[in-house]
Structure 1
């Protein structure tokens, strides 16, 4: 029995655990609850978005609740708000203190951090857009954006675009499945890997394109 199956009741509504808390919040607060859950998930991923978003879609499918479009908009606003909080905290914290804290993590060196920040500085738009669609990286991508003081307008544009695409896919999946929303777990594993592979391919293509364009005589 999987986690989602165990949490889902016969009606499809989870009544216990974190998923139950998310369902109660969305039912009680409506679209505000959807936004709050996604904002918190972006900062502290206590519940994977692959669970929260399909559940929002399922909630939207129940007559009398909010619309699926409303759920997508609220989730995206919440995601962007959470990302902005991390962005501003990292911006205020600065590179030196961020490097000092992260380099204490096993297998993470200051050199690795500097390389990551340097790569981000050259490819910030691609990193933010694609990073919003990679599990775990979804939250972390806001940190180098803040440290490197990426323009807020650019950060908002690419964060919103990436979040909107990611949220739409999972919410629509939950909406279409209705009370069987938990079945999305069957495909979530492979879909996440597909996203990761697609992101890697896109990054490699972007880097190759940049290198070739620099070598091409004007």
Structure 2
């Protein structure tokens, strides 16, 4: 096992699976765990990445290998989700949106226009935002962002995110697990903003529907 800290993670089920991959495969195992994290969010990067750094600090893998392999894993997982978005396609997304309550196709049009203007920034920055790290790959696929552009932006954003947490785990040593608490707070803040934004959208749309209904009654 990967020391005492590794024993603590091993008890956590899914995260323990990541520990086992690193024990068996070394740095490529960390990369595989991160690739799976992109596809199955319950596998937390805030555990995998600092743990990879801690493991490098123990001499079980090189620090450079940990950063390179986790970044390759991020790109591989993101590419799978990109092709999921490409397979779903714009027409299916519009067909689904047309059946959703409170959603108008004009909303989707504005979203597409925004992504056309700011998609490169969204993919780059999105790789450093919990919850959206994986999801941002899907609209990139739906909009058929050029694959080389997508891969380059994903690799750069993932490198920044991964290196930060791998180096944190390396520097913190036995206290690597404290990183999870900081990222958890950050993720809760992001989720709260997303929920408030969604609630605001629903409230505005319901108010608009009521006004339209009142005007029809008066007319």
TM > 0.5 between the two? yes
Deviation at 1:10, TM superposition (A): 7.9
Residue 119 (structure 1) aligns with: 114
Q: Evaluate the alpha carbon distance shift between residue 108 and residue 58 of structure 1 in structure 2; reply closer, same or farther with a 3 A threshold.
A: farther
Q: Residue 168 of structure 1 aligns to a residue in which SS?
A: helix
List, as ranges, runs of 4+ consecutive aligned residues in structure 1 with deviation greater than 2 Å: 98-118, 185-196
Deviation at 1:110, TM superposition (A): 4.8
Using the size of structure 1 for normalisation, the TM-score is 0.76
Q: Evaluate the alpha carbon distance shift between residue 111 and residue 44 of structure 1 in structure 2; reply closer, same or farther with a 3 A threshold.
A: farther
Identify the match of residue 25 of structure 1 among 21, 26, 31: 21
Residue 140 (structure 1) aligns with: 135
Q: Residue 80 of structure 1 aligns to a residue in which SS?
A: helix
Q: Evaluate the alpha carbon distance shift between residue 192 and residue 136 of structure 1 in structure 2; reply closer, same or farther with a 3 A threshold.
A: closer
Identify the match of residue 187 of structure 1 among 179, 182, 186: 182
Distance 1:69 1:30 in 2: 12
- Any stretches of 5+ residues in structure 2 without a counterpart? 192-219
Q: How does 1:1-218 map to 2 (within 5 A)?
A: 11-13=4-6, 14-16=9-11, 17-63=13-59, 65-101=60-96, 110-190=105-185
**Contact kept? 1:42, 1:82, Cα under 8 Å:** yes
- Any stretches of 5+ residues in structure 1 without a counterpart? 1-8, 197-218
Distance 1:130 1:102 in 2: 26
Structure (1 or 2) with the greater helix fraction: 2
Task: Find the structure with the greater CA-based Rg.
Answer: 2
Using the size of structure 2 for normalisation, the TM-score is 0.75
Q: Evaluate the alpha carbon distance shift between residue 194 and residue 169 of structure 1 in structure 2; reply closer, same or farther with a 3 A threshold.
A: farther
Deviations 1:152-196 (A, max 9, x none): 111111111100000001111111111221122343245558999
